[in-house]
Amino acid sequence: MKIAIYTRELKIGDNSFIKEMFQALEENNIEVLVCKVFSESFFDGFDVSKYPVFSSYQELDEVDFLFSIGGDGTLLETVDLVRDSNIPVLGINTGRLGYLSSITTDEIRYAIESIVSGKFELDSRSLLALDTSEKFFGDKNYALNEVTVQKKDTSSMITIHVYLNDEFLNSYWADGLIVSTPTGSTAYSLSCNGPIVLPDSGNIIITPIAPHNLNVRPLVISDDTKITLKIEGRTDNFLTAIDSCSVTMPITTEIEINKALHKVNLIRFNEYNLLSTLRNKLMWGLDKRN
C-alpha cells in the first residue's frame, strides 16, 4: 500500500501528531510519499527526509490513498492532485471548521488501521467543470465547492446574464454570482443565504452575491444542466474563482459550467454520519430551548 501526504503548512503544535502518524504508517508497512512542505520540515528529531517527495499529480500514478492535512481549503487543493484518478482522499482536520475533513489529529492511528483493514466507505462528491475559449485555468478547471464570478474593483456592480441549456434565465445585477455543488452549499454559497443541499441530491445551486434586486433568490437546478454566463460591467475585467484559485478575465469572456465527468472520493469511516456532522459543525440545537 502506498499513501501520499499533502499539506499547505505545518505548525509547531502539529509535531506530536505528525510523529504518531508516520510511526503508525511504518508499523503497518505502508509506503509513503510526502509533499515538499514535509521534506523541508523538522519534527523534533524525526527524519522526514528519507521519504520520497512528490510535487504534481503525475507522480501519484501508483498511490492508493492521499492524506490531506489542514482545513477544508487544503482538501480543496487535492482536487488538482487526484484529478480523475479516483484516488481516495482522507481529510485530517488541523484547521477551524473542517467540514470536509472527516477526522481529527487524535484519530490518526485509528484511521490508518481502519484503512489497512478496509473498514471505510467512499463518499463520492460531484465536481463542476469550467470552460472558456482562452482556457484561463488550463487543465485545473474543476471545482469541488464552487465557481464564482465577481466584480474586480470595489465600486460598480456587474451584470451576469445566465442561460440554462441555452435558454435565458435572468440577468443578475450584483457583486457576483456563485455556482455551487452540493458540497459547496455549506461554503461561500451558505454565507450568501444559499440553501444547504445534501451531497447526493444531484443538484447545482446558483446564488447571487449582494444582488441589487431583493426579490432575486438562490436557485437549485438539476446538475445535468449546462450553465452559460455572460458578463457586463463598467470595467474591462472581472474575477473568476474555482474554489480558492482566481484569475482575472476580460469582460467579453463567456463562461460555460457543467457537471464534471469524474468525481472526488472522500474516505469516510463507519461511524461517520452526514446529518450528525451537519448539526455539529453548524452548531444546530445548541439553543437551550432544544
Catalogue the active-site residues.
72
Phi, psi of 106 (to 5 degrees): -70, -15
The whole-angstrom separation of Cα 206 and Cα 162 is 10
The whole-angstrom separation of Cα 206 and Cα 148 is 10
What lies within 8 Å, CB to CB, of 245 at 6+ separation is 137, 140
According to DSSP, the β-strands at 103-104 and 65-70 are unpaired
Q: Are the beta carbons of 226 and 254 closer than 8 angstroms?
A: no
Helix 15-27 × helix 108-116 angle, to 10°? 20
Q: Are the beta carbons of 41 and 71 closer than 8 angstroms?
A: no
74-86 residues labelled b (16+ CB within 10 A) or e (exposed): bbbbbbbbbbeee
Alpha-carbon torsion (172, 151, 239, 7), positive or negative = negative
Can you spell out the DSSP letters for 69-87? EESHHHHHHHHHHHTTS--
Question: What are the cell numbers at 283?
Answer: 452548531
Q: Which amino acid is at 17?
A: F
The whole-angstrom separation of Cα 144 and Cα 78 is 10
Instruction: Identify any residues that bridge with 203 across adjacent strands, giving them in sequence order.
Output: 222
